[in-house]
Amino acid sequence: MPEGDTVFRAAARLDAALNGQEVTRFDLRVPQLATIDLTGEVVHNVVPRGKHLLMRIGDQTLHSHLKMEGEWHVYPPGEKWRAPAFKARAVVGNAHAVAVGFDLAMIDVVSTRDEGDLVDYLGPDPLRDDWDPAEAARRVVRDARPIHVALLDQRNVAGFGNVYANEILFVRGVLPETPATKTDAAAIIDVGARMIRANRGRAVRTFTGDSRRGQNTWVYGRENRSCRRCGTRILTGELGADAMKNRNVFWCPRCQT
């Protein structure tokens, strides 16, 4: 599931393949952007911002968001794509590599000087050099909603998705429905930042230290199974900012009080 660490790795792969190279192929397969052509321009860099990707080409920025299913692949020129071509939404190529964005939920092209209009609403990002944990904690603790919902709000802190929210709260022993105002937000943010930083370089995300399939989470996706700490049955439910944004939550009723 694409979260901040997934986007961080995607940006690193894209930057390694495209940075400093002249664009020889540019194809956006969405109607409103189909006529934009940046061939001949040079890619300056590709950077992550929370769950957003910013590809700076010439004086323009190609912005994309992976949402739930999106992904970027990098191929040598001429190599067969690993996903169907009809799922491709963006293609950026040079003499040495072709980057293809599949199932991208959001694509924009804006002047680089205006890219802040798309991402400046985001809260502090633990994977950026300007990470400000105190500001992230301040935003979270002022949020009157359940702590699980507050952690998912990208305006509070950028990069945490549903997997992280569940795992962070288990490690801190906090029930997902606890009002954020009644939590130790600084400690929660510290745990989350350490988790996502530890995972940013891993091919397989893990929270337990074990990267084997089915062994890498404490509670996420483990409903009705025994808690790895105390043996109590893991419970599941739903929480969200509203009924249309509910996310699955998982918790141990004994470890999270």
Whether the CB-CB separation of 143 and 180 falls below 8 Å is answered with: yes
Lookup result for tokens 């998982």: 250
| Chain centre distance of CA 164 | 10
Active site residues: 2-3, 51, 247
